[in-house]
Amino acid sequence: MNLSNHIPILIIAIPLLAAFLVPLIGRINKKATGILTTLALSVSLILTIVLAVKILTVGPQVYVFGATSPSLTLPSGLKFPIRIMLQIDAMGIFMGLITAVVSFVGAVYSLIFMKQHSGLDKYYSLLLLLTVGVFGMEFTGDVFNFFVFLEIASIASVALISFRGIDLGEPAEAGFKYMVVSSISALVVLFAVGIFYGQYDLLNFAALASVIKYSQLDKIALGLLIPVLAMKAGAVPMHMWTPDAYSEAPAPITMMLVAASQASLYALFRVVFSLYNISLNVLTVGWIIIIFGLLSMFIGVTMAIIQKDIKRLMAYHAISQTGYMFLGVGVGLAVLANPVALNQYGITAMEGGIFHIMNHAMYKGLLFLTAGALFFRTGTKNLDKMGGLAHSMKYTTIFFIIGAAAIAGLPPFNGFASKILIYESVYRFNPLLSIIAMVVSILTLASFVKVFHSAFLGPKLPQFKEVKEVPRSMVFAMAVLSCIIIFFGLFPDLIVKNLVHPAVMSLIEQFKYTGTVLGGM
Amino acid sequence: MLGLLETGSGFWSAIIWIVVVLVIGSIVIYIRNKGEDSYKKNTEQDKPFISGNPEKSKENSHLSASHIYWGLTEALKGYYNPLVKMHTGNINDYSGWIIVITAIILIMVGVSG
């Protein structure tokens, strides 16, 4: 048996197995739960990197459950795949790498951050299940299992958002709100799956893509999938759950929630590009996504400016940054049927949007971790009550500066690299869109100057005289993300050429996606 | 060249940017170090100018988050008031927005063909 053929399923199975082992281990040794989780996620991270190398050198990978060979998509005599399968191309593994890094860093950070809480076996078990759900959403090759993994991720998220305790009220309320919006989205996704299955007797993404006719029913399915997936990604005006959930969840979980939201965004892109592609009216759907982007960018950042709770402020920025991804990819979609425009600026716009997904996961993750570090030491999320913390939390201050500069799109950090790709390409599609994107970046900088001033600058306040830097494992987690941000900022060409461009092309070239499963149909 | 990102309309290189910043920064530091001839140390020139108001204690002089950009938000009241009102925190409204947007998108996708 060649183990390397089983890497796709091992990436999901290892954290899944660990999720069930953690409560058992917790009965013997509470401390071991965190270590086991970190170990499981570090193995997943290594396997994801190995799989990424394989995909980027050899090509997309398929893993068929229950087949005599994991790559046997069509047993003899069958025209369409009937088995459950994972289908991982450059876009899928791009998202998988984000999930693997974020979940590993989140687990390391949790080791000390969550130490004072009870029920840690449940916490780590849910963290692993959330990771499983997000990986599954990114790797699955069929629409029904996308729904299953979406549900796994949502249920784990609800429990994790409420984890700080039902007696506190607010975390429970945030968890309840997330449960309602997640249930709506899951039911709508299931309804769309039913539409596809009812028409084509198929659930496999690639097989569906090869037969889809863009009938009236397909239009209804598309019209249902776009808003609910955009809502799960935090698009305005369906974003209101985001500040509630992001601000109440523990900091490492908020970072994971960002990755989970991006998995929904990925699913939206997968649906419009890999499933429908040019069969749909790309200009209309492209503009729908662009408008989501504009609203999210502008309303997100303007709402952030007036926040006093540091995590709510950052949550609104997460919404705003998601707008850039919508904008870049939306422009690519709008010109998908126009090969000249696609080559001139459409592909670059998509590269900017897709690159921004990874950059955002890194710097927003880092910013949420710095907010967690401030909460860990001061016990408050209220910026009005903070001040002068740079005196005693020097590493956290440096990490915050790196994250803030990156999100504001300041060179030489990674946020600038993806934003410049978006500005310059979107400008050629519609200059106004690009100008709005730049204004939003300036407002983002203004907002983070406010946070920096109110939390870190000023004299050392008497109530924080005893405050000191956070423990090493938390510093390590923030340092890992900072290093990635700096590396991506200094050498963006390496990332765009080797990871982002293949991911964009795997979205655009639908025939390659279907061909991987159906053998060149 | 390593670090050179093609943007479609030009290129971006963080390495070149850092070199340029270092060169300009060195020139600025050189000019600053040359000093100002009229400056006299340990005179009233060293004292902060605070418009004749009595100086507050260090701990009380910190400007809190609520006060920052007060003027901006006050000037944009017409924009902010309805926007903040929209964020009710009520889950019924959250669900309502999903339904409204779904309906709009269904119409757009249906009509556009």
Task: Kindly state whether A383 is in contact with chain B, defined as any CB-CB distance less than 8 angstroms.
Answer: yes
pLDDT, residue A168, reads 75
Residue A19 located in a structural domain: no
Look at B65 and A302 and tell me if their CB atoms are within 8 Å: no
* Beta strands per DSSP E along A295-339: none
> Helix or strand or coil: residue B12?
strand
Chain A interface mutation, best of B87, B109, B112, highest count of A Cβ atoms under 10 Å = B109
Domain range enclosing A354? 281-490
pLDDT, residue A452, reads 97
Cα nearest neighbour of B88 on chain A: A240
Residue A385 located in a structural domain: yes
CA distance A401 to A486: 12
Mean pLDDT over the full length of chain B: 88
| pLDDT, one tens digit for every residue, chain A (521 residues) | 678 889 999 999 999 999 999 999 999 988 899 999 999 999 999 999 999 999 999 999 999 998 888 888 887 777 888 889 999 999 999 999 999 999 999 999 999 999 988 889 999 999 999 999 999 999 999 999 999 999 999 999 999 999 987 667 899 999 999 999 999 999 999 999 999 999 999 999 999 999 998 899 999 999 999 999 999 999 999 999 999 999 999 999 999 999 999 999 999 999 999 999 888 899 999 999 999 999 999 999 999 999 999 999 999 999 999 999 999 999 999 999 999 999 999 999 999 999 999 999 999 999 999 999 999 999 999 999 999 999 999 999 999 999 999 999 999 999 999 999 999 999 999 999 999 999 999 999 999 999 999 999 998 888 999 999 999 999 999 999 999 999 999 999 999 999 999 999 999 999 999 888 887 54
pLDDT, residue B113, reads 64
ipTM, two decimals, is 0.92
Q: Does the bond joining A412 to the residue before it have cis omega, within 30 degrees of 0? A: yes
Return the closest-CA partner of residue A170 out of A248, A257, A118, A251: A248
Task: Kindly state whether B48 is in contact with chain A, defined as any CB-CB distance less than 8 angstroms.
Answer: no
Cα nearest neighbour of B113 on chain A: A281
Closest to A450 (Cβ–Cβ): which among B6, B58, B68? B68
pLDDT, residue A407, reads 97
pLDDT, residue A17, reads 97
Q: What does residue A74 show for φ and ψ, rounded to 5 degrees? A: -125, 95
Residue A359 located in a structural domain: yes
Distance separating the N- and C-terminal Cα atoms of chain A? 30
pLDDT, residue A521, reads 41
- Angle at which helices A31-57 and A90-113 pack, to 10 degrees? 160
* Count of domains for chain A: 1
Look at B8 and A348 and tell me if their CB atoms are within 8 Å: yes
Closest to A238 (Cβ–Cβ): which among B5, B65, B98? B98
Mean pLDDT of B86-113: 93
Cα nearest neighbour of A425 on chain B: B8
* Cβ-contact B64, A384 below 8 angstroms: yes
Look at A238 and B66 and tell me if their CB atoms are within 8 Å: no
Q: How confident is the model at residue B64 (pLDDT cuts 50, 70, 90)?
A: confident
* Cβ-contact A85, A513 below 8 angstroms: no
CA distance A490 to A494: 9
Task: Kindly state whether A299 is in contact with chain B, defined as any CB-CB distance less than 8 angstroms.
Answer: yes
Residue A138 located in a structural domain: no
pLDDT, residue A118, reads 87
Q: Which residues of A touch B91 (CB under 8 A)?
A: 176-177, 180-181
CA distance A504 to A483: 25
Residue A26 located in a structural domain: no
pLDDT, residue B11, reads 92
Task: Kindly state whether A463 is in contact with chain B, defined as any CB-CB distance less than 8 angstroms.
Answer: no
Q: Give the position of tokens 């090509």.
A: A59
| Window 430-459 of A, Cβ < 8 Å to B | 446, 450-451, 453-454, 457-459
To the nearest whole angstrom, how far is the Cα of A90 from the nearest Cα of chain B?
Answer: 20
pLDDT, residue A80, reads 83
> Helix or strand or coil: residue A142?
strand
Q: Which residues of B touch A387 (CB under 8 A)?
A: 62, 64
CA distance A519 to A440: 45
Q: Which residues of A touch B84 (CB under 8 A)?
A: 303, 306
Residue A459 located in a structural domain: yes
Residue A273 located in a structural domain: no
Taking the CA atoms of residue A108, residue A112, residue A114 and residue A120 in that order, the dihedral angle to the nearest 10 degrees is 80
